[in-house]
Every structure is written in structure tokens, then in C-alpha cells.
Structure 1
Amino acid sequence: MTSPPVSPEILQQRHLETLIARYSQRTKTSKQMTQTYRPVLADVRGSAGFHSVIKEIVYPIIGHRASGSKMWDVDGNEYIDLVMGFGVNLFGHNPPFIKEALAKRLEQGIHIGPQSDLAGEVAELFSELTGMERVTFSNTGTEAVMTALRLARAATGRHKIALFSNSYHGHFDGTLVKANTTDENQNFHAIPSFPGVSPNSVKDVIVLDYGNFQALEIIKANADELAAVLIEPIQNDRPGLQPREFLHQLRQLTQSSGITLIFDEMLTGFRIHLGGAQAWFGIEADIATYGKIVGGGMPIGVIAGKAAYMDKIDGGMWQYGDSSSPQVEKTFFAGTYCKHPLAMAAAKAVLEYLKSQGTTLQERLNEKTNQFINTLNNYFEEEGVSIALANCGSIFNSVPLDNADVLDNSHPGGDIDLIYYHLIDKGIFILPGGGLMSTAHTNEDCDRVIQAVKDSVQELREVGFLP
């Protein structure tokens, strides 16, 4: 007698149990350390993606060392890294030219208090590469955006700002907002996105639909009250959305209305083009904020823009030997670690390297990523897999399809992105959604990732988690 067929539900449950056991064993030290320090370490990564079905593998992979396109965890497992410091490591991990600059600087000591002897040179290099008139430095991207908005408000005398749904501008209260979808008027007034954000801190924010030309009409209607329009020109979650004509019309509108146009170039700055998203779209913003790549792995934020705005930092131009003095009314800007000696040393090394490479570095990396994404999308289409990827340069992400969840909610796995756990188990370090390429990634790396994706899809299909 033949055994009765095993039900899909049992197959899926067995698959999950096997995956969880294998994954937990492979990364046992990451799991153990997460549990050991949970009582004292409040860590958002410790519960990210929590679902009771996969509770036993909900923990961060803890890194031990990294080099080039690879990183190794505390269990000694090797990974091809597609997270790349959330966009920091354009040149891969621990590139020699940054390592040497930091080592040399450490010999001189970390002097905080005196002005950095590299700050002026770094600002000059930054201005040369971006075309921005004036530059100042902070410690993080969040601080840079906060400062940019304060400068815009100080320069215009207005208080409202407009930003766009699905954008991310750091973790301070003023941008942790979403559209009030219950608003029966025009559905653009902001409300807090998270508990603990005061409604008063977002009352001067309106949230619009990126790329939707109706947003321009709303901006026009509020023009007299708007200090700034803040944009993440390439949204991390939607890199395929590149609304060139919308942005050009927005630039014209903000210019004619005296509204500050702020580009948040944390992710795009120096990555998709040497001149960032402004060069990519052919638009000159009034202020732009940067971070990640330019810090070379050190914490940094950069605020750069037209002198009319940046003069609010220091009072504007004056000189010694005559009767000149600061003439512009200043707003407040400070920070103990701004222009940190190690950050300045790393930034100088990065900017000099980028200058030496010209636009060739980004062009080659963009093309490599295009080929990688096209290969995977062709595979998904040929095999009828309900997954698709989109990219802008070396930034890529999965995009929703009309009929596609990676896992159907009727399955035991619910809406969990199991494919990412499969990829980590196969030595591909990636987080749900997508990732970033670096110049350190080789064709062999790309081939390994592609094969790991194919193997993961096949395994998920065999038990019905993918159609």
C-alpha cells in the first residue's frame, strides 16, 4: 500500500521547522547574544519582523568583521553583503584608502574643541564636487535634515513644510508623519506616524503623494505659508519611481513662490551620480542634505546649499582688515562632535577618491546593478514567480505586484518574507525589501546571489509557499 499524500499544510510546517532548526544552529551565537543582552539592550533590531510562527529566528545577525563585499558573523559564517551599511559602503568594507586615512589621523589624537584642521579643505572639496555654495557638518542624517528645515524657516519667515508619503528623513518628531486619511477636506494634513510623537510637532507639516501632479496644486494653494518642500528624490522603498517631469515642475513652482526646495540626498548623494540626484534629474536644489557615503564609515551629516540659506549658520561673509562684519541674522546650530577629526579625515579621503574617479565609478556600478536586476527579473518572469525588482543605479528593492505577496496570508507563514531568511541561510546578507551594490561586488558575487535566489524560490515552491 502507498502512503496517503501529505497535505500542503504539513509540508509547509515541516519546511518551517527544518529551516528554523538549521538557521538557529548556523547562527547560534547571534541568537544567544541577542537573548543574553535583551534585558539591558533596548534594540529595535532585536524584534524587527516579529511573527509568532518564526519567533525562534527573529534576531539580528551579529557581525564580527568585514572586508570588500563580504562580512563574517560571530559564528564565523561568511556572507555576501547586500546591506552595505544601509548605503554607507559604496566602496565595500574597509577600503585601504579610508583605513590608511583613519590610522594616520588616530596617531594625531582626537582633538575636540579646537577647529578641525581639515574642515575647510573638506568643505571646499564637497562644494567642488556638488556645486553647492556653502557647506556645514553635523553628526547624522537626522541632524542634517533638522538643520536644513530650520534654515529654510529662518530664511523665509514661514513655518509650514511639505513632504511626501513613503519618504524617510530621519527619526526626529518633525518628519515622523503620515497623511491623515480620515481628513475629509483634502487628505494631506499630517498626523504622527508613531506613539510618542506630539501632534503639535507635526501641525505645520503637510504630506503629499510623490510624483502626483495634484500635489503641485496643493503646494500652490499653500505657497504663502510654506517654508520648504522636502524630498527624498529616490525613495528607498520605491527606487523605480523617478518622476523627472514632476520634479522639474516642482522646481519651477518653488522658485516662483519663494519656497525652499530641499533634496534629502542621504542615499543618493555620490551614489547614483557624482553629483547625486540633483545631477541625475538635472535640478538645482536650494539646500541638500548628505551623509552615509561621504563619511567613509564614520558618523557624519552634511548640510549644503545656497549662501542665502547657509549664511544663517554664521552670519555670512566678512573679512579681516576692514570694517566688514556678519550681516545676516543667525539661527542656532551646534553639536559637540560636529567636524569630528576622524569623520573629517575619512570624508577627505572619500572626496579625493571620488574626484579622482570622475563619473566612471558610478556609471560602471549602475550598469553592473542593472544587469544583476535584469537577470533576476527575467528569471522571475520566465518562471512565473510573483516577485519583481526595481532599481535606481545601485539601489534596488522589491516592488509589489497586483497578485503577489511572497507568501499568501492563508499559509502558516502569514505575510513573512521567508525568502530573506533562506538567503541569509545561504550566505547572502540582505534585509526584507532590497539592498545596495558596491564597487567591491564582483561578477562572481552577483552570480552567487542569483543562484541563491533561484534555489530559495525552488525550495519555497516545492512546499507551496510560492505559486
Structure 2
Amino acid sequence: MKKKFFSLQQTLYPTEIVPQNTPENYLSQFINNYNTRTKTSKQITQYYRATLADSRNPYGFSLPLKELCYPIVAQKSLGSRIWDVDGNEYIDLVMGLGINLFGHNPSFIKQALLEQLEQGIQIGPQTELAGEVAELISDLTGMERVTFSNTGTEAVMTAVRIARAATKRYKIAIFSGSYHGHSDGTLVKLQELDGKLQTVPLSCGVPKSIVEDVLILDYGNPQSLEVIKAHGQELAAVLVEPVQDGCLDLQPKEFLHQLRQLTTELGIVLIFDEMITGFRIHPGGAQAWFGVQADIATYGKIVGGGMPISVIAGKAVYMDKIDGGMWNYGDSSFPQVETTFFAGTYCKHPLSLAAAKAVLKYMQFQGSQLQTKLNQRTAEFVKTLNDYFAVAGLPIKMTHFGSLFGPASSGVSANSNTDSRIGLSLLNYHLIHKGILSRGSSGFLSTAHTDEDINYIIQGVKDSISELASGELL
């Protein structure tokens, strides 16, 4: 029998764990309580493991916490809340990995999807909404031309291909710590080999030949500009995540301005990957926030309102590589620009575009105050947590960029030693046990989160840390 919502205290907050005499006993008791509360999620994960190949299932795996290593299986969601298959209610900070700026299942997006479903899902002919949504994106971002795809990976692949086609060069530069999807072309990293830093594939299955066309640079470091200058005649593009998901306190405005000037001088295409920052920090994204206009930008997540969509937008001189450029009926004009290859069955999917139109119209009506207010609430939330960590003497510091928050690079992070990682994992599991879903040590606030939600999260963090300390596990 599923629980009904009466109050946060009743449905979200389970009975406190009684501290045990040893860390081992405490951990054993906690695992038992956690498994009991989320037993169906664990059963489903185990039952389908042989058939379902899912990279998220072993995420964060460690032998001491093996019995906790399974995802919460969601059943329904609304606003700031998710309910799992055991009927447990959670305040959600994952928010679709950044998709749900307005919370889960907002009425204005739901209505747009229902209306489109009544019209049908026409794929093959041109989608009626494509031009209108492209204009809305152009109006908000200042980009001249727009096209659509389905995922961030596809959008970045397309942006890089356009840059290479336009410049007739093939090498690109990216920055350490950035993430640009899972295509082979960006899955590279720096690794020390024989006492030297070398570019190598990030994962098995990525060809070694890929590294020949990728430079990896240090983000925000002026020396990186010198490297770009030295390779100026080889580089088709510099691909940048303006604020990296894993390093939120690095927000190098001056560096970005210098990068814009340098790439312009050298004829290098500047690509902004705005999958996370786009429409979040400002209606015009990180470009508007930092005052830097990229040549091409990729967008996703928020603009789809929960539906799969990605956007490639940019200056006409580059985007003309998609369709040959501007021409008119009734005269002698024709598409004169040599095109590169671009395709996809589900690009311009009617449901995705219906959701995108609803999101863009809503943001247009709300204006920049929507982001400003949410950014400020996130700043206050982070400050409250940091004040607590400082008073408690904990080596943890949080930061934020817009409504995305996470650990500062100077604080404890997932890249710390094994004990620190286990400690952070246990903190995350304690929060889940108390009805708070997060991305480990980071998350997103939405316009659906209430003051009551935020206060509950803060108290949940404090109580979880207190319990871990009592069990000598923090």
C-alpha cells in the first residue's frame, strides 16, 4: 500500500537510525534500513541486470557499499517531487540531469504535448513548428540560423563537422574537465606517460588515431591561448564548455573574451557547448552572461521541456553548410554554399518541438527575471550550506552557476581519495534515505522548489552529516 502525502515529516523523513558502537555496525544497520525502504528498486535492478546493459547501474560502485549500489526506480513525478516504485516520496534535485527548469510535468508543457498528440506525430513531411521554434531560439540567443537534432552528442558532432567543412581544417581544441558527449571525436584525455603529459583515448573502443586531431588545453590558463596561437593554421574550432559541470567555480570571463578575440583573428570557429548553461543562467545563455558571442553554439536540456531535443545555432556563414544558404523563389538565386552531411529521422520531432515552443514562449513572457530569481535562490541555498560547513569545521565548500550547484574545486570532490569518495557516497545515500534525490554532491534547483523544500534539504544535509559523524563514517 503506497503512502499518501500528509507532510514532509510524515512521508519523507524515516525513523532516525540509532547509532551503533562501531562504524561496521552502523553501516550494516544503515544498509539494512535503506534496502528495506527501497527494496523494489533493488529487486528490479537485479532482475533485469542480465538483459539490460545500463551504464548507470554500477555508477559509483565500491565493494563496501555494494549492497547500496542500485538506482532508485521512479514511478511518477510532479513539481519538485518524484515517487518511487515502493511509494516513497522524494524532493528531487536531479531534475532530469538539468532538463526540468520548471519542475516535473509543468501544466503548460503538458498541455502543449496533449494538443500535439491530438494532431498526430508526423515524421517525414516538414514539421509545422520547425520554423517558429527556430525563430524563437534566434530571438533569445541572437544566433542567425538554427537547426535541430536529438541529443547533445549529436549537436556537438554536427557543430564540429560544420566548423571543419567551413575552414577546411581538421584539428580541434578542447579543455580538460569539459564534457561534450560520447562521440569518439571528443572522448580524449591527458595522461602522464613516460614522464610526459600525452593525449590518449578516454576509454577503450576509442581509436588512437582520434587523438591526432584533438588538442587538450588547460581551461582559463593564459598559456592555452599561446598554444592555440601556435596551432592557429591547423585548428578548425575551439570547443568550450563556458562553465564546466565539474568545476563550477571556474568562470573565466576575461579568458573567454581573449579566446573570442584570438579565434576571430586566426579564423578559428569558436563553439560554445551550452547544453547545461543555455537558457539557465540567462535567456541568452552563457554567451549573454559573459558578453561573448560564439560562432556556433549547441543547446539542449531545458529547451526541450523534458522531451529529447538538441539545437545547433550560429552565424549564417557556418550554418549555411547545412542547407546551402539563403535563396528565393521567383528569381535566379540558388543554394550556393557547399554543404556537409547532416541527417536524423527524429530531428524536428513534433512532440519535442511542441514542448520547445511552450518553453520558449514561457521564458519569453517571463523575461530574464525568471532566471535572476532562481539564480538568487540558489546562491542563498549554497551560502546557507557553506555557513553550516564552516561552523561545523567540515572541509566541504559548495558553489553554483545559475541554478546548478556542486562542490567547489577546493572542497571535497568525487575525485578525492577513496575514503572521501565513500564518505560522499554515504552522504548521498543518507539523503536518499531521508527523501532527497541528488546527483551525488551536486544538483539543480527549479522554479517548482519551494522554501519548505529548500529548508528540508538543508536540515537533511545537517542531520545526515550528524548521523555519519556519530557512526564515525564521515
TM-score (norm 1): 0.95
SS in 2 for 1:45: coil
Partner amino acid for 1:30?
A: S
Aligned equivalents of 1:192, 1:88: Cα separation in 2: 29
CA deviation map 1:136-169 (0-9, x unaligned): 0001111000000000000001000000111100
- Alignment match, 2:15: none
Matched, 1:55 2:66: yes
- Alignment match, 1:247: 256
Structure 1 40/200 Cα, relative in aligned 2: closer, same or farther at 3 Å?
Answer: same
2:291 to 252, 260, 282: 282
Structure 1 405/318 Cα, relative in aligned 2: closer, same or farther at 3 Å?
Answer: closer
- Note if contact 2:395-2:411 (Cα within 8 Å) is conserved in structure 1: no
1:143 to 148, 154, 170: 154
Matched, 1:117 2:128: yes
SS in 2 for 1:181: strand
Per the TM alignment, residue 127 of structure 1 is displaced from its structure 2 partner at its CA by 0.3
Structure 1 225/405 Cα, relative in aligned 2: closer, same or farther at 3 Å?
Answer: closer
Range with greater deviation from structure 2 (385-394 or 324-333): 385-394
Segments of 4+ moved more than 6 angstroms: 402-408
2:268 to 224, 249, 259: 259
Q: Which runs of 5+ in 1 are unaligned?
A: 1-7
Matched, 1:457 2:468: no
- Alignment match, 2:447: 439
1:90-101 alignment to 2 at 5 Å?
90-101=101-112
1:382-461 alignment to 2 at 5 Å?
382-401=391-410, 409=418, 414=422, 417-461=425-469
Aligned equivalents of 2:248, 2:230: Cα separation in 1: 29
- Note if contact 1:228-1:262 (Cα within 8 Å) is conserved in structure 2: yes
Aligned equivalents of 1:178, 1:10: Cα separation in 2: 44
Aligned equivalents of 1:408, 1:29: Cα separation in 2: 32
- Alignment match, 1:226: 235
Aligned equivalents of 2:417, 2:203: Cα separation in 1: 27
Aligned equivalents of 1:202, 1:124: Cα separation in 2: 37
CA deviation map 1:18-69 (0-9, x unaligned): 1100110111000000000001000111111111111111000011000001
1:343 to 352, 365, 374: 352
2:84 to 68, 73, 95: 73
1:358 to 359, 367, 390: 367
- Note if contact 2:407-2:413 (Cα within 8 Å) is conserved in structure 1: no
2:25 to 11, 14, 39: 14
Per the TM alignment, residue 432 of structure 1 is displaced from its structure 2 partner at its CA by 1.5
2:177 to 138, 145, 166: 166
Matched, 1:178 2:189: yes
SS in 2 for 1:245: helix
1:314 to 323, 333, 339: 323
- Alignment match, 1:4: none
Structure 1 142/183 Cα, relative in aligned 2: closer, same or farther at 3 Å?
Answer: farther
Matched, 1:34 2:45: yes
Per the TM alignment, residue 360 of structure 1 is displaced from its structure 2 partner at its CA by 0.4
- Note if contact 1:190-1:202 (Cα within 8 Å) is conserved in structure 2: yes
1:381 to 360, 385, 390: 390
Aligned equivalents of 1:403, 1:155: Cα separation in 2: 43
SS in 2 for 1:224: coil
SS in 2 for 1:33: helix
SS in 1 for 2:447: coil
CA deviation map 1:101-152 (0-9, x unaligned): 0000001111110000000000011101110000000011110000000000
Range with greater deviation from structure 2 (80-89 or 173-182): 173-182
Per the TM alignment, residue 385 of structure 1 is displaced from its structure 2 partner at its CA by 1.3
Percentage of pairs with the same residue: 62
CA deviation map 1:325-346 (0-9, x unaligned): 0010000000000000101100
TM-score (norm 2): 0.93
- Note if contact 1:191-1:203 (Cα within 8 Å) is conserved in structure 2: no
CA deviation map 1:181-233 (0-9, x unaligned): 33767x4x531111111111232001111111111111111000000000011
Per the TM alignment, residue 463 of structure 1 is displaced from its structure 2 partner at its CA by 2.2
Partner amino acid for 2:119?
A: Q
Aligned equivalents of 2:191, 2:418: Cα separation in 1: 27
Matched, 1:297 2:331: no
Q: C-alpha root-mean-square deviation of aligned residues, in Å? A: 1.8
Aligned equivalents of 2:174, 2:233: Cα separation in 1: 16
- Note if contact 1:407-1:415 (Cα within 8 Å) is conserved in structure 2: no
Q: Which runs of 5+ in 2 are unaligned?
A: 1-18
Aligned equivalents of 2:70, 2:282: Cα separation in 1: 35
1:193 to 183, 197, 202: 202
Structure 1 414/268 Cα, relative in aligned 2: closer, same or farther at 3 Å?
Answer: closer
- Note if contact 2:398-2:411 (Cα within 8 Å) is conserved in structure 1: no
Partner amino acid for 1:458?
A: S
Aligned equivalents of 2:20, 2:365: Cα separation in 1: 58
